[in-house]
Amino acid sequence: MEGAPTIKVVSVEKPYEDQKPGTSGLRKKVKVFQQEHYLENFVQSIFNALPKDEYTGKAMVVSGDGRYHNDVATQVIIQIAVSNGCKDLYIGQHCLLSTPAVSAMIRKLNEDKGADYCFGGIVLSASHNPGGPDEDFGIKFNGKNGGPSLENVTEEIFNQSTKITQYTLLEGYSPVDTSTIGTTDVMGCQVHVVDNNEQYVELMKTLFDFDQI
């Protein structure tokens, strides 16, 4: 199709040395994440840390808590995920999903569509840390069980970040409209913008008596 995006390989001359995630992922000031290649290096390192058959042709959830830089980062992650072979991406409307909502969605997708359908998700959050252009941003990877990645995976992500030489984006990419619920085809990957609370509310209704509350 004329005008369709293509995969672009971006070379990295020197990896960053400060991308070691903690238990809540990688947290830095927004301006750190806005450095050239910084976000892209870390996201590509997540894929590099996993076996290719674990994510190729699989689904992924991507969303955050709405802090500054959330929307920009989401569009970057979409490009990297598509160019690495993901076939379905689930984004909360306006790029918003709480951390427990991301976890619940990963588990629900695997329950409904098969245990290996969704290999995990990326959560853009720095929890209670302040947000804003001069404040904090965070990114972490959750596994297919919905929980934070295992320590050995986190260690391998950091290991990959110290030796990364390139990452992939999409040439001619038009940002996905995350304000509207619906599905957009991006190079054969279905990017689903979904209601950011409906599924989580349904889960909560199985745990609590809403009428009684």
Active site residues: 127
b/e burial code for range 26-48 (CB count within 10 A of at least 16 → b)? bbbebebbeeebbbbbbbbbbbb
Which amino acid belongs to residue 89?
L
Judged on CB neighbours under 10 Å (0-12, 13-18, 19+), 142 is: buried
Determine the distance from the C-alpha atom of residue 41 to the mean position of all C-alpha atoms in its chain, rounded to a whole number.
13
Residue type, 19: Q
Compute CA distances 101 → 50, 82, 104, 157, 184, whole Å: 23, 22, 5, 23, 22
Q: How many Å apart are CA 96 and CA 160, to the nearest integer? A: 28
In angstroms, rounded to a whole number, what is the distance separating the alpha carbons of residues 40 and 88? 20
Task: Measure the CA angle with vertex 19, ends 36 and 145; round to 5°.
Answer: 115
